[in-house]
Amino acid sequence: MKNRFWHMSWLALGLAALPAASQAHFRLLAPASWLVENQLGDPQKAAPCGGTNNDFGKPTYAVTDAKGGTALHVKVQETVYHPGYYRVALAVNSPTELPVDPKAQTMTNEKGVVVSVSGEVMNPVAPPVLADGLFQHNAKTDQPFETDVTLPNINCKSCTLQVIQFMEQHGVNNPGQFSYHHCAVLRITADPGKPLDAAWPKDRN
C-alpha cells in the first residue's frame, strides 16, 4: 500500500510538471510559410503573421504562385493539440489589412485563470476573410487538416495569406491572446476569362 501511495504521488507530480494543455501549436504546410518554422511551428504567437516578442522569425522568402478565382489548397498540421478552429484571410497590399483576431468569449476557471470558451466566427465571410470556423475539433488527431479556399479574382504581386488557429479552453498568451498565427506570400494572377473581384482592393505595389 505504501509503495502504491508513493507511486500515485510521483504520478501526480509528473502530471503537474507536464506542459500546460493550453500550449497548442500548428505548422503551415501549404502554401509555403513566410517564416522558418521549427517542428512545433514556432515562432507563431504574435499577430498578424507569427513571431514572438523576442523572436520576429527568420524569413523563408517563399512565394507561392496562384490563379485568381480558383481554389488554393491550405494544409496545416497541429503539433500540440488543443480544441478550437482555424480561419483564413487575405491582405492585398499590407498585412495591416488583415482582420483582428477573433473576439473571444472568456471565463475565469477555478484557479482564477482567465480562459477562452469560444471565438467569434464570421458567417457569412466577407473580405478580407476567405474562410472561418474551419477544422472545428475537440479531440486530438495526428492527421493534417486540409481544405481548398477560393481566391478572389485579382492581380496581386505580393498578397499575404494568413492562417490562424483560435484555441478554446486556453489561457491568455503574450503576445497572441488566444490565437496562433502563420502567413504565406502569394503572387496572384487574375483569370482573364472572369471579371475582376471588385470587393477586394486593387494592388498598389
Domain edges within the chain = 23-189
How much is the pTM? 0.86
What value does the mean pLDDT take over residues 85-99?
A: 96
- Integer angstrom CA distances of residue 11 from 59, 119, 172: 42, 34, 27
Q: Are 27 and 163 in contact (CB under 8 A)?
A: no
Which residues are within 8 A (CB) of 3 and not within 5 positions of it... i.e. 6 or more apart?
A: none
Better-predicted residue by pLDDT, 5 or 115: 115
Q: pLDDT tens, 5-33?
A: 333 333 333 323 333 444 579 999 999 99
**Class at the top of the CATH hierarchy for domain 23-189:** mainly beta
* pLDDT at residue 49 is higher than 70: yes
Helix/strand/coil (H, E, C) string of 86-143?
Answer: EEEEEECCCHHHCCCCCCEEEEECCCCCEEEEEECCCCCCCCCEEEEEEEEECCCCCC
Residue with cell 485563470: 113
Q: Give pLDDT, residue 37.
A: 94
Mean pLDDT of the chain: 88
* pLDDT at residue 106 is higher than 60: yes
CA torsion 114-77-150-45 (nearest 10°) is 40
Judged by average pLDDT, the poorest of 130-134, 156-160, 169-173 is: 169-173
Residue 72: how many CA atoms within 13 Å on its side-chain side?
Answer: 30
Q: Which three cell numbers, joined as nine digits, stand for 200?
A: 477586394
